């Protein structure tokens, strides 16, 4: 992974600023710099691990962010970080959702006073095999419903619902492809990048994905949905999709279940 020299200097200054502070046990570099996606003007994202007393004090004061421009020597540069504790990392490794896990892809410790921190970081950005089949069914079903909803909205000239359905169809068609590749959903900012990097996907998928977002239309909605529908047998009938949506989305309030976008 190539890190630009001015980002390396910012990381070094950031580490030097907190390495000897007894409140902080380790510094984790993340974001676009760690993932190799950074531009020249990208900020440096980080997570800094506070000891439990310092974390609880800061949590009570709602003081969980650090943002500094004085550690950077490039135009518009700044470091932007969240204050966490070791328990947070252990919880993410054990039961974190996909976006929380994906946030640790490429991360590395700039300094650490914690034994085996590197090993803990390696356990986090791992695709959760438990529940894989259920996620495939859910993502396909949601894509099916959003395609249907888009066409209903278009028939009625409902621009709001068309726009929302286009976004949701793109999201869940994308999540279906990522899950099929057993790759983590990196939340919305990096979804197109993750999809472009996914090795197994329908021919022309990215063109159809982008076309729907650029020009929401019934034609582009159908092109994207049929692209994933025809890719393989997902094991979900039309009736299965309608029934799943009713019981698991419309009736989700009955079971206090986690909203799909938090999976």
Among 99, 123, 147, the domain-final residue is 123
Domain that holds residue 81: 5-123
Claim to verify: residue 119 and residue 136 sit in the same structural domain: no
Please, what are the averages of pLDDT over each run of 10 residues along the chain (263 residues)?
Answer: 94 98 98 95 98 98 98 97 98 97 98 97 97 97 98 97 98 98 96 97 98 98 98 98 94 83 68
Claim to verify: residue 21 and residue 115 sit in the same structural domain: yes
Claim to verify: residue 136 and residue 258 sit in the same structural domain: yes
Contacts 24+ apart (CB under 8 A), 196-201: 201/177, 201/231
Claim to verify: residue 94 and residue 142 sit in the same structural domain: no
Claim to verify: residue 98 and residue 140 sit in the same structural domain: no
What pLDDT was estimated at residue 257?
80
Tally of structural domains, the chain: 2
- Rounded alpha-carbon distances, angstroms, from residue 45 to 67, 91, 113, 117, 173: 9, 21, 20, 18, 29
Claim to verify: residue 90 and residue 33 sit in the same structural domain: yes
What pLDDT was estimated at residue 263?
73
Among 63, 89, 123, the domain-final residue is 123
Q: What are the two backbone dihedrals, phi and then psi, of residue 220, each rounded to the nearest 5 degrees?
A: -70, -35
**CATH code for the domain in which residue 252 is found:** 1.20.120
DSSP state of 129: -
Claim to verify: residue 115 and residue 140 sit in the same structural domain: no
């Amino acid at each position: 992974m190539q890190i630009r020299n001015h980002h390396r200097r910012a990381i070094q200054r950031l580490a030097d600023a907190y390495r000897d502070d007894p409140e902080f046990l380790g510094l984790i570099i993340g974001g676009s710099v760690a993932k190799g996606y950074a531009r020249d003007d990208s900020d440096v994202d980080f997570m800094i691990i506070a000891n439990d007393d310092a974390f609880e004090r800061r949590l009570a004061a709602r003081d969980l962010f650090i943002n500094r421009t004085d550690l950077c020597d490039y135009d518009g540069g700044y470091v932007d970080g969240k204050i966490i504790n070791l328990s947070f990392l252990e919880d993410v490794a054990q039961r974190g959702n996909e976006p929380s896990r994906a946030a640790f892809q490429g991360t590395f410790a700039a300094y650490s006073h914690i034994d085996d921190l590197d090993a803990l970081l390696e356990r986090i950005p791992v695709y959760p095999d438990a529940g894989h089949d259920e996620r495939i069914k859910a993502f396909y079903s949601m894509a099916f419903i959003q395609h249907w909803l888009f066409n209903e909205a278009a028939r009625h000239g409902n621009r709001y619902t068309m726009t929302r359905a286009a976004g949701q169809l793109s999201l869940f068609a994308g999540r279906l492809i990522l899950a099929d590749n057993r790759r983590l959903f990196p939340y919305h900012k990096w979804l197109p990048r993750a999809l472009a990097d996914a090795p197994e996907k329908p021919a022309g998928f990215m063109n159809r994905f982008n076309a729907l977002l650029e020009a929401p239309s019934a034609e582009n909605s159908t092109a994207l949905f049929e692209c994933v529908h025809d890719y393989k047998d997902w094991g979900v009938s039309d009736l299965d999709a309608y029934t799943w949506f009713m019981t698991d989305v419309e009736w989700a309030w009955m079971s206090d279940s986690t909203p799909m976008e938090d999976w």
